[in-house]
A = this chain, B = another copy of it.
Amino acid sequence: MKKIINGVDQVEEQMIEGFVKACPEYLKRLGDDLTVVRAQKKEGKVAVISGGGSGHEPSHGGYVGKGMLDAAVAGAVYTSPSVDPIYEAIKAVDAGKGVLMVIKNYTGDVMNFELAGEQAEDDDDIKVAKVVVNDDVAVDGSLYTVGRRGVAGTVFVHKCAGAKAEAGGTLEEVQAAAQKVIDNVRSMSMAINPSTVPAAGVPGFELGEDEMEIGIGIHGEPGVKKMKLEPADKIVDMMLEKILGDLDYTGSDVAVMINGCGGTPLMELYIANNHVNDVLTAKGINVYKTWVGNFMTSIESEGFSISILKLDDELKELLDAPADTPAFTQV
């Protein structure tokens, strides 16, 4: 394992400290938890929180700020956060209007967020709602999941739910906006190189020098299949076939996210986007907005995912609304 770290037992702690020191104008740490909240709590609005295992940076702490999240709760690398820090985060961000939890569909995440939410409702009279993101069309059920996994499309949920909350939406309205994104976004991923969890010390899976894995999860969970590495355009075709076969995008305006897995150069993401854009355009699907970059990573894994969100006027407005966070700023 070749990493720029100190000790494997110091990774999460030093990472969050280095993160908070990089952007104190945006956020602060909540106690000793791997949780960040906005530097200035925003009063008078619904709060939106998310979280999950570390290793997906800038998810989710990078999206804490105006127009997106109010808190992000991390666990150890690729490990669900436990109930206590989620509960503490809910209490810290609630401003009397309720809290929406954006949960990726992994068994541990769902269970712990739900327990924390129930505790906050029972003990503290906080209104808590949730959505569960399951945008990955690759497989139905996986290593840590019953049903589809939640992957990069989650960041579109943060953007739209956050914008709705910032605009003064009620808890029910913010939840409905988040659910609308979930209902209309589909994602698919691939990788040419795996990631290594520091504490494990060895890659999560193995690929030959000429192999890739299609449909892989954000923790390196098995995908659809290992196969010979193909040219970028052919890879994109395979991924789009699955995505476009799952939801009818015909004639729609869409937002596209080309998400890097952490070790992928922008060069390759742009080459992928070139063909994604061409294929969608040829099919009469109108690309309204494109995000290219590292939004939901798998440590240093090399590969990318495509997420396609079908838009209506409400989602366009929410997607276009200003945001100001460490990892996503839009005027």
Q: Which residues of A contact B (CB under 8 A)?
A: 2-7, 11, 14-19, 21-23, 54-55, 57-58, 62, 192-193, 195, 209-210, 229, 231-233, 235, 258, 262-275, 277, 287, 290-292, 294, 297, 299-300, 302-304, 322, 324, 329-331
Contact = CB atoms under 8 A, between A and B. Distances in A.
A273 to B, nearest CB: 4
Contacts of A330: 329
A38 B295 CA distance: 25
Given A4-B264, A6-B232, A300-B263, A14 B58 contact: no
A297 B21 contact: no
21 contacts: A2-B209, A2-B302, A4-B232, A5-B271, A14-B270, A15-B274, A16-B270, A18-B269, A19-B270, A19-B273, A21-B290, A22-B273, A55-B265, A57-B265, A58-B266, A62-B266, A195-B265, A264-B300, A265-B297, A329-B331, A331-B331
Interface centre among A55, A273, A322, A330 (most CB of B within 10 A): A273
B18 A277 contact: yes
Contacts of A299: 265, 267
A30 to B, nearest CB: 17
Contacts of A209: 2
A4 B234 CA distance: 10
A58 to B, nearest CB: 6
Contact of A270 (B18, B229, B232, B262): B18
Nearest to A304: B4
Nearest to A329: B329
Interface secondary structure of A, over-half rule: mixed
A269 B300 CA distance: 12
Given A2-B229, A6-B231, A302-B300, A21 B266 contact: no
Given A6-B232, A232-B6, A290-B22, A14 B262 contact: no
Contact of A57 (B5, B266, B304): B266
Nearest to A6: B231
A7 B273 CA distance: 16
A39 to B, nearest CB: 14
B192 A21 contact: no
Given A22-B291, A262-B266, 17 more contacts: A2-B192, A2-B193, A2-B209, A4-B192, A4-B303, A5-B271, A6-B231, A15-B270, A22-B270, A22-B290, A265-B299, A265-B300, A266-B294, A266-B297, A300-B302, A329-B331, A331-B331
Nearest to A59: B266
A271 B302 contact: no
Given A266-B297, A267-B15, A5 B231 contact: yes
Nearest to A261: B265
